[in-house]
Amino acid sequence: MTAFSGTYVEAIRQALHDAMEADPRVCCLGEDIGAYGGAFRATEGLLARFGPERVIDTPIAEQAIAGSAIGLALMGQRPVAEFQFMDFALLAADLMVNFAAKAHWRWGPTVPAVFRGPSGGGNGGGPFHSQNPEGHFLGSPGLKVIAPGTVRDAYALLRAAIEDPDPVMVFEHKHLYRRLRDQWDEPPTARLGEAALRKDGAAACIITYGAAQQVALAAVADLDVAVLDLRTLWPLDDETITALARRTHRVLVLTEASRTYGPGAELAARIGETCFPWLDAPVLRVGAADTPTPASPPLEAAALPSVERVRSELDRLLAW
């Protein structure tokens, strides 16, 4: 694969295609991923190209999907399991957290399986199809968690996840699937565990990931404020996070996940512990309201982080 021009979801499809072309061990499994091409068409065309032995339709059973992927990985394959919505990845949490993530620690073999799917709100999907459940999986030793926030990362991070020897969860924000476009002549590359500075600045910084970085960039377009995209949520790129916090002296953590007990709380705590002497203000947090995601568009918009909320908190941070 060389030149590409397309959307975020098309980059995911291209990454799967290129990985399967490059390595016959790579296979895909999940609900409706074959003939239907996936609920969001992320696997469209793969069945025709690679056949039913490598593009496997499964029952609506997340535990079976995860368990099958783990078994395939232990037998030498490189499976990519799709959860139709990452809300329901919680049904398979026991297998991913208590088995896949710990297999190497317990008895030696690695589990090179990828568990990917759409998460996040903004589409009126309601409380069961709009969650950001990544916080439930963070901090599980042996389990890596990534959240691509750009078209290039949708491709590059997925390729890196497929090649990684450990189990990796990929949280793709469904609101970005067809809203972001990009192009390249040569495939982009990325390494898990490395954050990316999306905008530089000296007055403060926003640390974020996934679709929330689009909110951050819109909020600081005219400000001297840096925006750091974590890309990998676990393990964190502590070195880059710490260096930016110490350089800018003011930090706002922005996530679409719940503000209370969410990933932003851990980030704020880590920055407070490691950067306190360099900070000129407390670490502020913006996250989703502590409520199930409403299906009503106006209520959903009120519950999710907005440019206005971020701008308001930045004003407070810069005035400290």
Can you say how many angstroms the Cα of residue 69 is from the centroid of all Cα atoms in its chain? 19
If you average pLDDT over residues 69-76, what whole number do you get?
98
* pLDDT tens readout for residues 106-125: 999 999 999 999 999 998 99
Q: Which amino acid is at 37?
A: G
Query: Residue 276: is its pLDDT beyond 70?
Result: yes
Q: Where are the domains of the chain?
A: 4-184, 196-318
Residue 206 main-chain phi, psi, to 5 deg: -110, 130
**Same fold for the pair 4-184 and 196-318:** yes
Residues in the chain: 320
Q: Considering 129, 173, 175, 249, which one is annotated as catalytic?
A: 129
pLDDT in tens, 76-115: 999 999 999 999 999 999 999 999 999 999 999 999 999 9
Q: Mean per-residue pLDDT for 52-58?
A: 98
Dihedrals phi, psi of 266, to nearest 5 degrees: -65, -40
* Residue 269 pLDDT exceeds 90: yes
pLDDT digits (tens, 9 = 90+) for 176-214: 999 999 999 999 999 999 999 999 999 999 999 999 999
pLDDT, mean of residues 292-302:
94
Token pair, residue 14, equals 């291209």
pLDDT digits (tens, 9 = 90+) for 8-20: 999 999 999 999 9
In the 8-state DSSP scheme, what is residue 81?
A: E
Computed over every residue of the chain, the mean pLDDT equals: 97
Residue 305 bridge partners (DSSP): none
Asked whether the beta carbons of 27 and 20 are under 8 A apart, the reply is: yes
- Residues near 273 by Cβ (< 8 Å), separated by ≥ 6? none
Residue 272 has pLDDT above 90, yes or no: yes
Measured CA angle at 130 (ends 317, 218), to 5 deg: 35
Instruction: Flag whether pLDDT at 310 surpasses 70.
Output: yes
What's the mean pLDDT in 166-179?
A: 97
Q: Rounded CA gap, 186 and 38, in Å?
A: 26
The span from the CA of 58 to the CA of 209, in Å, is: 31
Looking at the DSSP bridge assignments, the partners of residue 196 are 229
Question: Which position has the token pair 């609900």?
Answer: 31
**Domain formed by 196-318, architecture:** 3-Layer(aba) Sandwich (3.40)
Averaged pLDDT, 270-299: 96
What six digits make up the tokens of 97?
Answer: 């957290």
Share of the chain above pLDDT 70, in %: 100
| Structure tokens that stand for 24 in this block | 């016959």
pLDDT of 235-260, one tens digit each?
A: 999 999 999 999 999 999 999 999 99
- Cα 55 to Cα 28: distance, rounded to the nearest angstrom: 5
Structure tokens belonging to residue 99: 């088995």
Residue 17, token pair as written in the block: 């295609």
Looking at the DSSP bridge assignments, the partners of residue 146 are: 170, 232
With 90 as the cut, is the pLDDT of residue 2 above it? no
Q: What is the CATH number of domain 4-184?
A: 3.40.50.970
Q: Please give the average per-residue pLDDT across 48-69, as a whole number.
A: 98
- pLDDT value at residue 289: 95
Tell me the C-alpha distance between 198 and 286, whole Å.
19
The model's confidence at residue 1, banded by pLDDT at 50, 70 and 90, is: low
The candidate with the shortest Cα–Cα distance to 229, out of 197, 254, 189, is 197
Q: Chain-centre distance of CA 206, in angstroms?
A: 17
Q: Predicted confidence band at 287 (pLDDT cuts at 50, 70, 90)? A: very high
Q: What is the pLDDT of residue 264?
A: 97
- What are the phi and psi torsion angles at 78 (to 5°)? -125, 75
Q: Cα-atom radius of gyration of the chain, to the nearest Å?
A: 19
Is 17 among the residues known to form the active site?
no
